[in-house]
Structure formats: structure tokens, C-alpha cells
A = this chain, B = another copy of it.
Amino acid sequence: MANSASGDSVVDRVVRVIEAFPEGVTSLQLSELADRSGLPLSSAHRLVRQLSEHGLLDLGAGGTVRLGLRLWELVNRNSPTLALRQAAMPFMEDIQQVLNQNVNLAVLDGWEALFVERLSRRGSVANRAQIAGRMSVHISSAGLALMSHQSRELQAEYLEQFADSSGKVTAGVVRHLLAEAAQQGYAQLAGVVDPDTWGIAVPVINSKRRTVAALGVVVPLAEMRLQALVPALQTAARGIGRQLSD
């Protein structure tokens, strides 16, 4: 009952507060935030107030807590993927125009593909929600495209998690998917996310020969035309990669 009974630093607590928001939830009651972050109410209150004085959070009347506009602004202005997204956008628009499909751009984070940009198929309901969404490597074409071009060491480390295995997904299957993707130069996966769609993704390789992203499309099964899609994606991916150095 003094400076941190729980043995964590102030920084830890700030992080816990920000991480307390469940995916897609923009607003939380103070007491709920305290619960979720595992902080005493008064501590949570103090932290939230301090952060909202700086605009990183927004403490409204009645204890409603939101992320602050200022935080959104700072992060989006200085985002680590800014250069990537800027380089990729024109090419993604080209693909959207030419193929009229949902186009997306993902980076590898841990054992997941993190989607950093997305254009919806023209005419469809826009689905910006999936920006900042994640998918496990082995269930997404983008994830496979990314992982299949990582170093042998990283791939081995990744595959280990399937080793023990309850059996749902075996290391062998995933290894096969990766090998196929590496050999073909693209990854494709049918009906995993949505039974009626097909995902195709290609690696984006920067000027230092590092695979920094995956460019992909999601198409209805009925419209699947690998011959048309893959070359278009690969061309775009090369164009993007040429502009990226790190």
C-alpha cells in the first residue's frame, strides 16, 4: 500500500490503461477501465486524468473514457508504416481500379499478419474496420506470403508452435503451405476466412531484399482468375518495393 503494491511501474500502468480497450470499442466507463486494467479505481482515475490533460485520452463527463484525438493524430502522423502506406497506396488504387477487388496490405508482427491498409471493392460496403486487424499467419494468404519469405531461423521458430500440437493444425501442413508459397512467389488460400472467398497475396520486397509487407486481394470464389491476378499483384508489389529502403 504505497508506491505500487502490484509491483509495476507507472509506464506499465499507462500501457495497461491504453490496452484495456477491447477491439473496436471506443468508449469505456472509468470503473470498467479500472477493472479491465486491474488498477485500483483511484489510481486509474488519476492516470486517466493526467493522460487526458495531455489529450492522449479523453475523460468526458460522467467518467466516460475514450482515446484522445491528439493520440490518434500523433500516431497517424508518425506511424511506423507511413512510408509503406504512402508508397503502396497508388498501386493499391490501380489494382482496385483494374481488378475491382478488395485490396489489402499487411505487415508481419509476431506470428500474425497485421493489416495496415485496405481498399474495398468498388460498390461493396466499405469495410475500414479491418484496418488494424490481425490474422494468424497460417490462416491468411498475406500471413503466408510474409512468413514464406522470412529467414529459415524465424520460420523454424514459427513452426515450433505447431510441434506439440493438439493436432488441429500440424507443422507439416503449415510447412507445406509455406514451401508452396515460397516456390510459387505468391500465397493463396480458399474459403478459410469466409467460405466463399479466395485470398491471394504476394510479398513486397524492399530495395534491401527484405520482405516488409504483403499485398493481397480477396475475391469471390466465382471470380477466381489466378492468371490475371497474380501478375498484377506481383507487378504492383515490385513497384512498391522499389520505393522502400528500410
**Chain B residues with CB under 8 A of A209:** none
Judged by a CB distance under 8 angstroms, whether A207 is at the interface is no
**Chain B residues with CB under 8 A of A131:** 76
Judged by a CB distance under 8 angstroms, whether A192 is at the interface is no
- Whether B15 contacts A77 by the Cβ 8 Å rule is no
**Chain B residues with CB under 8 A of A54:** 11-12, 15
Interface residues, chain A, CB within 8 Å of chain B?
A: 9-12, 14-15, 18-19, 21, 23-27, 47, 50-51, 54, 56, 58, 66-83, 85-86, 89-90, 93, 97, 107, 109, 114, 116, 120, 122, 125-126, 128-129, 131-134
Number of copies of chain A assembled together: 2
Decide yes or no: A18 and B74 within 8 Å by CB, A10-B10, A54-B11, A86-B129 being known contacts.
yes
**Chain B residues with CB under 8 A of A56:** 15, 18
